[in-house]
Amino acid sequence: MKVKKALLIVDVQNDFCPAGALGVPEGDKIIPRINQYIKIFSKNKLPIFVTRDWHPKKTAHFKRFGGIWPPHCIQNTKGAYFHPKLKLPRKTIILSKGMDPKKDSYSACQAEDVNSMSLLDLLKIFGIKDIYIGGLATDYCVKYSAVDILKNGFKVKVLMDAIKGVNLKPEDSEDAIRGMVRMGAKKITLECLLTRRKKCP
């Protein structure tokens, strides 16, 4: 039986792209590649999930209220919108996280859709076993999401050509990738997905 797959694109929002409040260097460079993955999943009628960081104006996540971050991804502001180059099909399932003014949340497993369904609920309903994950940032939300999803018994493929890290310390992204792999994630690229070569990165 074919294992059912889904694509999960994390936080490709203006504030996480260069010029944004928490811009990931070259974060926007991965968008054309993400769009290619989206096309493939779309063609194969596989679900596409996207997360967005979606904060209230006042939250303990921001420095002013006790957290560590400058204000970013405030609900219904330009910084919180998806990058204009990201091409989301109509059927994309949008999951929001970070709405609780008292809590930090970095993992897609803490995100919910318009009906307050969590990612894990939705994966179960769709019968998905295998999650392909890309987006921003490798060393934060992508890492936390991948690890959480793995812990819940799903398989994870990391889209090596469709992630970008913050690298507060230069080795952060590499460490994050190593950590995800240690937990059981596999690394793939578009090329190795399309050519079905046995050898992925």
Q: How far is the CB of 36 from ligand VGL (least distance, A)?
A: 23
Three-state SS annotation for the chain: CCCCEEEEEECCEHHHCCCCCCCCCCHHHHHHHHHHHHHHHHHCCCCEEEEEECECCCCCCEHHHCCCECCCCECCCHHHCECCCCCCCCCCEEEEECCCCCCCCCCHHHCECCCCCEHHHHHHHHCCCEEEEEEECHHHHHHHHHHHHHHCCCEEEEEEEEEECCCCCCCHHHHHHHHHHHCCCEEECHHHHHHCCCCCC
Site pattern 10..49 for Zn ion (x: CB under 5 A): ----------------------------------------
State whether the Cα torsion 155-161-167-170 is positive or negative.
positive
In the complex, least distance from residue 103 CB atom to Zn ion, rounded to whole angstroms: 11
State the Cα angle at 183 between 181 and 184, rounded to 5°: 65
11 binds, among Zn ion, ligand VGL, none (CB under 5 to 8 A by kind): ligand VGL
Binding mask 110-139 for Zn ion (x = CB under 5 A): ------------------------------
Burial (0-12, 13-18, 19+ Cβ within 10 Å), 100: middle
Site for ligand VGL in 106-145 (CB under 6 A): 106, 137, 140-141
- Contacts to Zn ion from residues 47-86, by CB under 5 A: 53
Residues 40-79 that bind ligand VGL (CB under 6 A): 53, 69
With CB atoms as reference, the residue minimizing the distance to Zn ion is 53
**Least Å distance between CB 146 and Zn ion?**
18
Q: Which of 6, 7, 11, 147 binds ligand VGL (CB under 6 A)?
A: 11
Catalytic-labelled residue, pool 53, 97, 139, 143: 97
Q: Which does residue 106 touch among ligand VGL, Zn ion, none (CB within 5 to 8 A, set by kind)?
A: ligand VGL
- Does the annotation mark 17 as catalytic? no
Residues classed as catalytic? 11, 97, 141
Binding site for Zn ion (CB under 5 A): 53, 98
Binding site for ligand VGL (CB under 6 A): 11, 22, 53, 69, 106, 137, 140-141
